[in-house]
């Protein structure tokens, strides 16, 4: 009988689910709302429909991400650090350093033999995360999705001196009023975020190859800005939002395999796929 | 009928920990004079010898800092601000005086603020040097003699050498008890959790030394008698940091699936693992211990020999503890704006890692609301240790 593994990554902004056996069978990406628990069920159901599997056929479920404790049907919670490392190690085995830029945090992970060995993380401050671009895009009246492309057309990217998201927004509005061209401002914003992330990750002693994951990796401007900082190209997985969920599913598979080898029975989550209430 | 927790060990700890300062308040009513102090660098022996009760002022991670903000800017160490905030809010109304050492700059430069804000009958500043050479030691001895004179003036009587020697004996005994308690952490799983130990040490700094010796003895007996009640966990952790006067952080690590079995903290091993040697002039032994034996980032140990020897001199005790307590990983926990420890972070990290033990460095803001954010990092670190 084939075994299936699900990984669910409940991030601050996006929720990601994958179902795997030997390869990824189905994946779903949806926005995370305030109601984590309801959403975890919904995206999971959607993924099951895509994979054409009943929930009972899933051997093991691992939840990760900022909302991992809010997945009532998960058999285990594992931090996004371990999951990103496992996912990137699987997708891009040559990678030694992962830079993940999420909606509300950013992190650097050092890999050895496909596993995390060290990490740094910023989740205290919006600067250096997706939120920084989200907020400043709003201030500039530009769609978030257009920011990356626009930044590439900058001729003289301005220097954004404020690392605080709120004040940086004021600063860019002031620059706009001074008549600085929009692409130069957006270019400066991308440089600012890249500088911030780079200086944090540098503490790990960056080694090639470097992979960029998370929502930030979908922004071409940010990819280029980071490449400029690093001085060489970075690798981006085909769907950079899914590495955490893939890693979660793979770690579930590892756990099941290890237990089988040792002849142990695994404690499974008692809960079924159902909408959790605050009283469960 | 279930046995009531009336023992004088862990039950007393819970009582004093929950209502910090309750014993001092009681004794105050009986006429005892209570002297509050900041930091482990106040020689409590001299206070005890003068017949006063030394009481360590602590902050509260659960209490947002509000009143202190008008007197101290937010670039001051959040722990110092929290201590002061607690005092301003009347939590230490029983104090007859305060003693503040030049431990770090945050503690030093807020002495005058404490002095004029609290208007206590007694206040004294201990101008402790930062070097460890002979001139520093001589200077420090003179400073401690000034403290002795100032305290005897407040006491209205001389503090005899005999009283000092006796107080040294008591505080050494207290430290020996703490070390005995630490021995119980060497078992796997430990006989006592890190959270419990932290609670014991916090309670101990709020009661007279004689009572602390007794309480520690009772705790040790109770823990030995209850036997191994703790479950096996995946990792044995040592916490290194400045003053951690709340159990919240230790609890967070233990909730994440590890035991905290060792530390270089205050209150903790840093404060209790070295004794005062009894010398002809008791002040000499006291000076030697506080300046040279207590290894803290606030003291600058001049580099002698090569860099490796310097690291060994400054941090060697940490690696001995890692070995002795069978530590799997070290969590280096520093408050924002703590410059003495901030300077040492890269050194501590590389020194311990070079000995083969992984280190997780965390910076925090001395507040419950930020402690929670550290959970993911701690869990990830434990996962890393597990998959090694």
Q: Which residues pair with A120 in a beta bridge?
A: A108
- pLDDT tops 60 at residue A278: no
Among chain A residues, the shortest Cα distance to B378 is held by: A79
Rounded distance between C-alpha atoms, residue B160 and residue B152, angstroms: 10
Residues in chain A closer than 8 A to B376 (CB atoms):
66, 79-81, 121, 123
Residue A100: closest CA among A91, A92, A90, A88: A88
CB B94 within 8 A of CB B118: no
Among chain B residues, the shortest Cα distance to A67 is held by: B376
Q: Cα dist. A95→A111, A213, A227, B55 in Å?
A: 7, 12, 15, 55
The DSSP 8-state label assigned to residue B96 in this structure reads: S
Q: What percent of chain A has pLDDT over 90?
A: 58
CB A193 within 8 A of CB A137: no
Q: Cα dist. B180→A13, B177, B213, B221 in Å?
A: 50, 5, 11, 11
Using the Cβ of A115 and the Cβ atoms of chain B, whether some distance falls under 8 Å is answered with yes
Question: For chain B, how many structural domains are there in total?
Answer: 1
Does the beta-carbon distance from B380 to A81 stay under 8 Å? yes
Sheet holding B359-364, edge to edge: B258-266, B235-243, B329-335, B359-364
Smallest Cβ distance to A82: which of B358, B373, B380? Answer: B380
Does the beta-carbon distance from B370 to A66 stay under 8 Å? no
Q: What angle do CA B53, B54, B57 make, to 5 degrees?
A: 130
pLDDT in the model for residue A264:
85
pLDDT, mean of residues A190-194: 90
CB B80 within 8 A of CB B106: yes
The DSSP 8-state label assigned to residue A235 in this structure reads: B
Residue A81: closest CA among A270, A266, A251, A202: A251
Q: Which residues contact A191 (CB under 8 A, 6 or more apart)?
A: A157, A159, A160, A225, A228
- pLDDT tops 50 at residue A280: no
Residue B314: closest CA among B339, B338, B350: B350
Report yes or no on B94 lying in a domain.
yes
Residues in chain B closer than 8 A to A116 (CB atoms):
380, 383-384, 387
- Considering the domain architecture, whether residues A15 and A108 belong to the same structural domain is answered as no
pLDDT in the model for residue A70:
86
Q: In Å, how far is B182's CA from the nearest CA of chain A?
A: 30
Using the Cβ of A81 and the Cβ atoms of chain B, whether some distance falls under 8 Å is answered with yes
Does the beta-carbon distance from B384 to A124 stay under 8 Å? no
Report yes or no on A145 lying in a domain.
yes
pLDDT in the model for residue A265:
83
Smallest Cβ distance to A117: which of B376, B377, B384? Answer: B384
- Considering the domain architecture, whether residues A153 and A203 belong to the same structural domain is answered as yes
Chain B residues interacting with chain A (CB cutoff of 8 angstroms): 358, 370, 373, 376-377, 379-380, 383-384, 387
Report yes or no on B53 lying in a domain.
yes
CB A61 within 8 A of CB A75: yes
Report yes or no on A160 lying in a domain.
yes
Task: Give residue-wise pLDDT tens across range A79-106.
Answer: 999 999 999 999 999 999 999 998 888 9
- Considering the domain architecture, whether residues A258 and A204 belong to the same structural domain is answered as no
Question: For chain A, how many structural domains are there in total?
Answer: 2
Q: Cα dist. A55→B157, B195, B292 in Å?
A: 81, 40, 64
Report yes or no on A269 lying in a domain.
no
Question: Best residue in A10, A62, A70, A82 to probe B by mutation, most B CBs within 10 Å?
Answer: A82
Looking at this predicted complex, what is its ipTM?
A: 0.84
Q: Domain span at residue B97?
A: 20-160
pLDDT in the model for residue B348:
95
Q: In Å, how far is A116's CA from the nearest CA of chain B?
A: 6
Report yes or no on A235 lying in a domain.
no
Residue A272: pLDDT band with limits 50, 70, 90: low
- Considering the domain architecture, whether residues A217 and A124 belong to the same structural domain is answered as yes
Phi, psi of A180 (to 5 degrees): -65, 135
- pLDDT tops 50 at residue A169: yes
Question: Best residue in A65, A79, A102 to probe B by mutation, most B CBs within 10 Å?
Answer: A79
Residues in chain A closer than 8 A to B373 (CB atoms):
123-124
Using the Cβ of A80 and the Cβ atoms of chain B, whether some distance falls under 8 Å is answered with yes
Task: Give residue-wise pLDDT tens across range A198-226.
Answer: 999 998 999 999 999 998 999 999 999 99
**What residue has token string 């830079």?**
A99
At A208 the three-state DSSP class reads: coil
- Considering the domain architecture, whether residues A225 and A246 belong to the same structural domain is answered as no
- Considering the domain architecture, whether residues A140 and A219 belong to the same structural domain is answered as yes
Report yes or no on B172 lying in a domain.
no
Q: Domain span at residue A103?
A: 99-230
- Considering the domain architecture, whether residues A37 and A76 belong to the same structural domain is answered as yes
Task: Give residue-wise pLDDT tens across range A99-118.
Answer: 999 888 899 999 998 889 99
- Considering the domain architecture, whether residues A36 and A78 belong to the same structural domain is answered as yes
Does the beta-carbon distance from A124 to B379 stay under 8 Å? no
Report yes or no on B101 lying in a domain.
yes
Rounded distance between C-alpha atoms, residue A253 and residue B148, angstroms: 68
Q: What is the CATH number of the domain that holds A215?
A: 3.30.420.40
Residue A33: pLDDT band with limits 50, 70, 90: confident
When comparing pLDDT for A176 and A6, which is higher? A6
- For chains A and B, CB pairs below 8 A equal 35
Residues in chain A closer than 8 A to B383 (CB atoms):
78-79, 81-82, 116
pLDDT in the model for residue A273:
60
Does the beta-carbon distance from A81 to B384 stay under 8 Å? yes
pLDDT in the model for residue B30:
97
Phi, psi of B146 (to 5 degrees): -65, -40
Residues in chain A closer than 8 A to B380 (CB atoms):
79-82, 116, 119, 121
Residues in chain B closer than 8 A to A123 (CB atoms):
373, 376
Report yes or no on B84 lying in a domain.
yes
Determine the angle formed by the axes of helices A144-151 and A220-230, rounding to 10 degrees: 40
Low-confidence stretches of chain B (pLDDT < 50) are: 1-5
Residue A129: pLDDT band with limits 50, 70, 90: confident
Torsion of CA B336, B340, B343, B344, to 10 degrees: -110
Report yes or no on A173 lying in a domain.
yes
Rounded distance between C-alpha atoms, residue A99 and residue A233, angstroms: 13
Using the Cβ of A79 and the Cβ atoms of chain B, whether some distance falls under 8 Å is answered with yes
Q: In Å, how far is B369's CA from the nearest CA of chain A?
A: 11
- Considering the domain architecture, whether residues A120 and A23 belong to the same structural domain is answered as no
Q: Which helix (H) or strand (E) holds A156?
A: none
The DSSP 8-state label assigned to residue B231 in this structure reads: P
pLDDT in the model for residue B1:
37
Report yes or no on A274 lying in a domain.
no
HSE of B283 in the Cβ direction (CA atoms, 13 Å)?
16
Does the beta-carbon distance from B384 to A118 stay under 8 Å? yes
Q: What is the CATH number of the domain that holds B41?
A: 3.40.50.11890
Does the beta-carbon distance from A117 to B379 stay under 8 Å? no
């Amino acid at each position: 009988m084939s075994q299936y593994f699900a990984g669910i990554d409940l991030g601050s902004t996006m929720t990601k689910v994958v179902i795997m056996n030997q390869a990824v069978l189905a994946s779903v990406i949806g926005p995370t709302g305030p109601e984590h628990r309801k959403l975890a069920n919904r995206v999971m159901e959607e993924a099951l429909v895509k994979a054409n599997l009943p929930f009972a056929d899933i051997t093991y479920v691992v939840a990760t991400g900022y909302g991992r404790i809010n997945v009532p049907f998960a058999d285990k919670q594992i931090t996004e650090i371990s999951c990103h490392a496992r996912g990137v190690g699987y997708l891009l085995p040559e990678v030694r350093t992962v830079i993940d830029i999420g909606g509300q945090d950013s992190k650097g992970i050092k890999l050895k033999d496909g596993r995390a060995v060290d990490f740094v993380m910023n989740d205290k401050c919006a600067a250096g995360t997706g939120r920084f671009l989200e907020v400043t895009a709003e201030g500039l009246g530009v769609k978030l999705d257009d920011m990356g492309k626009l930044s590439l057309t900058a001729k003289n990217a301005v220097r954004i001196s404020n690392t605080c998201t709120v004040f940086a927004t004021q600063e860019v509005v002031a620059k706009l009023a001074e008549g600085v061209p929009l692409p130069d401002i957006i270019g400066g914003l991308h440089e600012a975020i890249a500088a911030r992330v780079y200086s944090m990750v540098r503490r790990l002693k960056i080694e090639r190859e470097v992979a960029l994951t998370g929502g930030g990796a979908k922004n071409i401007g940010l990819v280029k800005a980071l490449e400029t900082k690093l001085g060489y190209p970075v690798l981006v997985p085909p769907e950079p939002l899914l590495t955490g969920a893939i890693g979660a599913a793979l770690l579930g598979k590892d756990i099941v395999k290890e237990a089988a080898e040792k002849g142990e029975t695994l404690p499974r989550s008692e809960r079924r796929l159902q909408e959790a209430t605050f009283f469960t | 009928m279930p046995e009531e927790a009336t023992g004088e060990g862990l039950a007393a700890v819970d009582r004093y920990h929950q209502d910090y300062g309750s014993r001092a308040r009681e004794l105050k009513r009986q006429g005892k004079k209570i002297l509050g102090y900041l930091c482990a660098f106040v020689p409590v022996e001299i206070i005890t010898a003068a017949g006063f009760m030394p009481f360590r002022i602590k902050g509260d991670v659960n209490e947002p800092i509000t009143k202190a903000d008008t007197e101290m800017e937010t670039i001051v160490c959040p722990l110092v601000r929290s201590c002061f905030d607690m005092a301003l809010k009347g939590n230490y109304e029983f104090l007859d005086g305060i003693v503040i050492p030049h431990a770090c700059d945050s503690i030093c430069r807020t002495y005058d603020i404490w002095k004029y804000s609290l208007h206590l009958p007694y206040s004294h500043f201990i101008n402790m040097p930062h070097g460890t050479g002979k001139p520093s030691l001589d200077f420090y001895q003179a400073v401690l003699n000034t403290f002795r004179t100032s305290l005897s003036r407040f006491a209205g009587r001389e503090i005899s050498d005999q009283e000092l020697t006796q107080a040294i004996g008591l505080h050494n005994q207290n430290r020996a008890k703490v070390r005995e308690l630490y021995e119980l952490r060497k078992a796997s799983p430990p006989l006592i959790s890190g959270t419990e130990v932290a609670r014991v040490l916090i309670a101990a700094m709020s009661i007279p030394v004689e009572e602390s010796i007794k309480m520690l003895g009772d705790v040790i007996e109770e823990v030995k008698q209850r036997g191994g009640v703790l479950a096996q966990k995946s990792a044995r952790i040592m916490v290194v940091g400045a003053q951690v006067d709340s159990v919240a952080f230790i609890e967070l690590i233990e909730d994440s699936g590890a035991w905290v079995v060792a530390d270089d903290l205050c209150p903790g091993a840093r404060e209790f693992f070295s004794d005062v040697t009894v010398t002809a002039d008791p002040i000499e032994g006291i000076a030697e211990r506080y300046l040279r034996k207590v290894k803290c980032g606030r003291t600058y140990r001049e580099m002698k020999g090569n860099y490796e020897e310097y690291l060994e001199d400054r941090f060697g005790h940490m690696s001995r503890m890692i070995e002795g307590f069978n530590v799997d990983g070290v969590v280096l926990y520093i408050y924002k704006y703590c410059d003495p420890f901030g300077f040492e972070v890269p050194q501590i990290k590389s020194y311990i890692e070079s000995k083969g033990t992984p280190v997780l460095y965390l910076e925090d803001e001395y507040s419950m609301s930020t402690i929670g954010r550290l959970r993911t990092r701690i869990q990830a670190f434990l996962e890393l240790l597990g998959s090694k």
